[in-house]
Structure 1
Amino acid sequence: MRFTRSHLVIAVLLLGVVLTACTPFTKRRAEAIYDPAESLTEIVAVLRRHIPDNTYRFPAGRDFTGRNVYRSTLLRLENIERIHKDELRSGYMDAVIDFSKARSLERLRGYALAAKYYREAARKDSELADEAKRSASVCEAIAAAVIVGLDLEDPTSAEVEPLSMDTDSVVDALDQRVSELVSIVAGVYESHRPDSHYPAVIRGEIERADMIRSRYFLALRHVIPDGSIRAVAELQRLLSRHGASQNRRAHMLALASLYASIAREYVDAVPPESLLFDPPKFQELVDAAAALYRSVAAQDGTSEKLEAARQLEAFLAFTLRIDRDRFAQ
């Protein structure tokens, strides 16, 4: 078959049409992460897909931009309200927006605000009313529970209050918080569907209460009797109670770092060249820290892997300064 000049012209024109058609799509795809959501349906669909996620065992889902899906949903809802305020002026989608905001906020620990949006959604839409009212009650109960007892404070704030030295009252208050949260879980199983996401949310708050308790004793280990022993025990308790948590590797790193800190403090207090230096005691601390670091460093696909590997390397470099023949078997 012979190609004439006209065939060549047609082929060039067709190629130009194809390239022209593809360029906008490629450009849109490359710039998609910067564009606002095209519709409210798109935002709600992405959120709905991640509502059942077990955020106690696994990290929060990510959207196509790589951001926390609950935070990005909240931002996109606010953006679409601002961009399409004229179209949404009639209020026909207000209940859906309020309900979706509440679903996002409860995963961002904004329980009181989530309850407020649930109440608004229940008032505006009868179809959402039952679920919105049940969810509002749960969020209000969680909001009341999490303010019981000690909480972590911003360390950069100029108004950080000193920690209470009454360890028994601090522990009792945190135990009360956990007890209230456990009772909320029991109520959720009675009033919600079996696949409700709230048990995972509440278990995350129980873990946070236990973590606060361990951090409290870690902060006081130099000023209370047997402080280091108590701090180790509290971190071990945290690990044993929340072995299925997504944060278990972080808890392991915290315990490993504590063992490493105690080992360094022991060397400072009892120099290896002194007669009081106890090689087996030092070796026990080294082995405990190294075992935890190695365990975390062996878990592929986690951000803690790199952190554990570097901390282990630094800790072993420290141990090389100690006279090995003092504690060699």
Structure 2
Amino acid sequence: MSFFPFIRWFWAQTLIASIFLVSLSACSSRTPPAEQRYAPAGDLLDIVKDFQRLAKEDTYRFPIPKDITGVNIMKATLVRLDDYERKNRGQFTDIVQYNRALALERLREYEQAAELYRKVAEGDGRLGREAAKNAEILDNFLRIFERTIPGDDPFKYIAGLDEKVAAWNGLIQKHQGTPYEFLARVEEERIDRAKVAFVEANRARLKEGDQLVLVGYSQLITKHRSSKNIQRYLLDFGDFYVRLAKDYASQYDPEGLAFDFKIFDQFVKSALKLYSEVAQQDGVVEKLEAQGKIEATRGFLEKLTRLNR
């Protein structure tokens, strides 16, 4: 190769290398550093976009979703909206208040949510009509909460709870297919669980109280089989059977003739069946707890079996 062609070749290669390095630098500049990618969203669109996507989840069947940091999305959104509002005073107030109300209602803070919805409805923004409708729905929720229940008589108390359940069921039917159906189901479920807890706490005062508790748990589990809390209800039901077994063992000496092992064994086996149902479920946090209860109950059964021989 002669000298001048070599010079031309050398500069051509140098130019190509320079272009490659510039392109590589440009590509690198478009990729944000890792810590920047996971920084808290400061733009309102980013906050609302992620929140709206997760806010429609069925909170009766599933727990409230988590954001990328593992925090409750409703609580995280409230913090981010507060931060945005501090940094951007007076900007997009109706959007901020509407989404804050939405997060609050999903957290069952209905009174605060309704108040914010009314503020949005009083403005002239596009969200006013929707906010007014949501406020009216939450007012119906609050009316059920405001109903007083007589506490002087256990049967009147249970009847009062039943009336609230019927009221929530009416809202479930009215808002079928909307997030308010899910919220109403959550409230209905809480009343159903409270009713069983009340009967269980007062079973000694009620005629055939133990049987009423068993019926209550059976109805709770049948009705709310789709609930996110079903595993907890199964464990609680099993715990009650264990309590019955322990009560029986306390009432009748396991080493004496009055102790009927078949009755005791029936209580224990019923508990083990419920615990086992939870222990066989993969991906539930109650699985490990159920396994521990199974071992403890088997140990209790073994001890009483030896004493009764």
TM bucket (normalised to shorter chain) is: 0.7 to 0.9
- Matches of 1:173 and 1:211 in 2, distance apart? 14
Bigger CA radius of gyration: 2
CA distance in 1, matches of 2:134, 2:220: 29
**More off after superposition, 68-77 vs 20-29:** 20-29
- Closer, same or farther: CA 149–241 of 1 in aligned 2, 3 Å: farther
Query: Which whole-Å deviations, capped at 9, do the CAs of 1:244-285 have from their partners, x for residues lacking one?
Result: 111111111110011011111211221210111011101110
Is residue 173 of structure 1 aligned with residue 160 of structure 2?
Answer: yes
Amino acid at match of 2:174: G
1:55 corresponds, among 35, 44, 59, to 59
Residues 1:256 and 1:198: Cα distance change in structure 2 (over 3 Å): same
Find the aligned partners of 1:307 and 1:99 in 2 and give their Cα distance.
Answer: 40
Structure 2 residue runs without a partner (length 5+): 1-13
CA distance in 2, matches of 1:181, 1:243: 18
Q: Distance in 1 between matches of 2:265 and 2:124?
A: 66
Aligned-CA RMSD value: 2.8
The answer to whether the Cα contact below 8 Å between 2:275 and 2:294 also exists between their aligned partners in 1 is yes
CA distance in structure 2 between the aligned counterparts of 1:123 and 1:164, rounded to whole angstroms: 40
Q: 1:102 to 1:299 in 2, by over 3 A?
A: same
- Deviation of 1:219 after TM superposition, in Å, equals 1.4
Q: Map 1:91-110; keep pairs closer than 5 Å.
A: 91=91, 93-110=92-109
Distance in 1 of aligned mates of 2:190 and 2:178: 20
Structure 1: stretches of 5+ with no match in the other structure: 1-6, 151-162, 190-194
Deviation at 1:21, TM superposition (A): 6.0
Counterpart Cα distance in 1 of 2:167 and 2:268? 39
Contact kept? 1:214, 1:235, Cα under 8 Å: yes
> TM-score w.r.t. structure 1 length?
0.81
Q: Which has the higher contact order (CA 8 A, sep 6+)?
A: 1
- Quote the Cα distance in structure 1 between the aligned partners of 2:129 and 2:104: 19
Match of 2:143 in 1: 144
CA distance in 1, matches of 2:254, 2:286: 32
* Larger CA deviation: 61-70 vs 286-295: 61-70
- Deviation of 1:96 after TM superposition, in Å, equals 0.5
1:41 corresponds to: 45
More helix by share: 2
User: Aligned in 2, Cα 1:125/1:256: closer, same or farther, shift over 3 Å?
Assistant: farther
Q: CA deviation at 1:243?
A: 1.1
Task: Give the structure 1 partner of residue 170 of structure 2.
Answer: 183
Q: Partner of 1:246: helix, strand, or coil? A: coil
- Superposed CA deviations along residues 160-207 of structure 1, whole A, max 9, x for unmatched, are xxx946121111111111222222233335xxxxx4211111011100
Does residue 278 of the first structure (1) align with residue 260 of the second (2)? Answer: yes
Instruction: Compare 204-213 and 125-134 and name the one that shifted more.
Output: 125-134
| Deviation, structure 1 residue 27 | 3.1
Overall identity of the aligned pairs, in %: 30
Q: How many residues align?
A: 294
C-alpha displacement of 1:215 = 0.9
Q: Which of 179, 191, 203 does residue 185 from structure 2 map onto? A: 203
Contact 1:138/1:184 (<8 A) preserved: no
TM-score normalised to the size of structure 2? 0.86
